[in-house]
Amino acid sequence: MKKCLFVVAIVLLHSCNNLLRTEQYEITYAFVNQEKVTEGDIVKTTDVIKKRITKYTRYVEVVSNSQNQIVIKLRGDFDIESVNNIVENEGKLGFWSCATKEKLISFMLEVDRQLKNDSISKPFSSLVKGMAYDGLPVFSITDTINIRQLLNDKSIKALPLEDEYRDLAFLFGKTSDSTVTMYGVNTYHEKRAPIDESHIIEAKQDYDQIGRPAISIRMNEYGAHKWYKMTNEAYLNQTKIAIVLNDIVHSAPMVSAGPIEGGHSQIAGDFTLEEALSLSYILDSQQRIPKLKFVKMSKIENE
C-alpha cells in the first residue's frame, strides 16, 4: 500500500512540475474608441472576456491595466487567432423583421425620383450591380461607403417620404466575390433589435440541416415571446427575419412552417467549425462589449 501511494505521489509531482513548466503568455488588447469607454465598460468587458475565454481554455486570467487595456494571461497550448476572434468580437446580436424586396426597391426608386435634380452624385440606380437569387439588390463592396453616405445625406433625410419608409434601416450581408447584398429591415423607430444577445440564455455549436457548422440558441421568456410574434408575422406575411451579428446579416431565413414556440433558433451561414465554436462562446456570455483590437503578446518569464 505504501509503495502504491509512493508511486501516485511521484506521478502527481511529475504532473505538477510539467504544469509549472508550461509556458505562459500575456496578451494585451486596447479599446478601439478608448475616449468613449467608461470605467463601468472596462469592468464589464473584463468579466465578459473571462467568461468567453474560460470556455476555450481553463488556465486564464483577465485583468485591466493602468492604461485601461484588457490583459489576458494564458497558460498552455492555444491558437492566438482563435483567441483574437473570441476577444475582438463585440457580440452584438440582432433579430430584425425584413422588409419585402418590393419595399426596399420601391424606396430606392423613390429616392432617385425625388433627387433627380439634386446635387447628389450617385443615385441608388447607378450603384446596383445586379440582383441576388431572392431579388435583393447587390452592390460592389467598394461602393458601400458611397451608399452609406447617400443614406445619411441631409437631402435624403429631408425628403417627404411616405411613413412606410420612415422605419427602414439598411444592412449589408457577408461579402461574396467582391459584392454584397443589401437588406432592408423594419426598425419601428427602435434603436435596438426586438431580440438581441441579452435575451439569450444558452448558445452552443451545432450543425444545420445540411451538415454545416451553426450555432443553436435558446432564449429567455421575454425573447421567446418576441420570437413567437416575429416568426408568426413573418409566416403570415411571407417575409424573412434577418439574423445580424455585429451589423452584418449572416442569414435571413423564411418562416415556412408557422410561428416558432419555445424560444429556440439557429444561426446558420458560411461558418467554419472553429468560427461556430467561437461564436457559441461569445453569444453564451449574453452581453456585447466595446470593440477591442490586439496590441501585443509577450511571454511571461518564470522567476
Q: How far apart are CA 279 and CA 283, in angstroms?
A: 6
243 and 170 assigned to the same domain:
yes
Domain that holds residue 138: 91-287
Residue 135, burial from CB neighbour count under 10 angstroms (0-12, 13-18, 19+): exposed
Give residue 289's identity as a one-letter amino acid code.
I
Give me the tens of pLDDT residue by residue for the chain, a chain 303 residues long.
544 444 444 444 444 444 444 789 999 999 999 999 999 999 999 999 999 999 998 889 999 999 999 999 998 788 999 999 999 999 999 999 999 989 888 888 888 887 776 655 567 778 888 888 888 999 999 988 888 888 877 777 777 777 777 788 899 998 888 899 999 999 877 778 999 999 999 999 999 988 999 999 999 999 999 999 999 999 999 999 999 999 999 989 999 889 999 999 999 878 899 999 999 999 999 999 999 999 999 998 765
Q: Which residues contact 27 (CB under 8 A, 6 or more apart)?
A: 71, 72, 73, 74, 80, 83, 87, 294, 296, 297
Asked, for residue 14, whether it belongs to a domain, the answer is no
97 and 180 assigned to the same domain:
yes
With cell 509549472, the residue in question is 20
Q: Which residues contact 286 (CB under 8 A, 6 or more apart)?
A: 197, 198, 200, 201
162 and 294 assigned to the same domain:
no
Q: Which residues contact 220 (CB under 8 A, 6 or more apart)?
A: 199, 200, 201, 263
177 and 270 assigned to the same domain:
yes
Instruction: Provide the domain count of the chain.
Output: 2
pTM comes to: 0.83
All three cell numbers of 188, joined, read 419601428
75 and 163 assigned to the same domain:
no
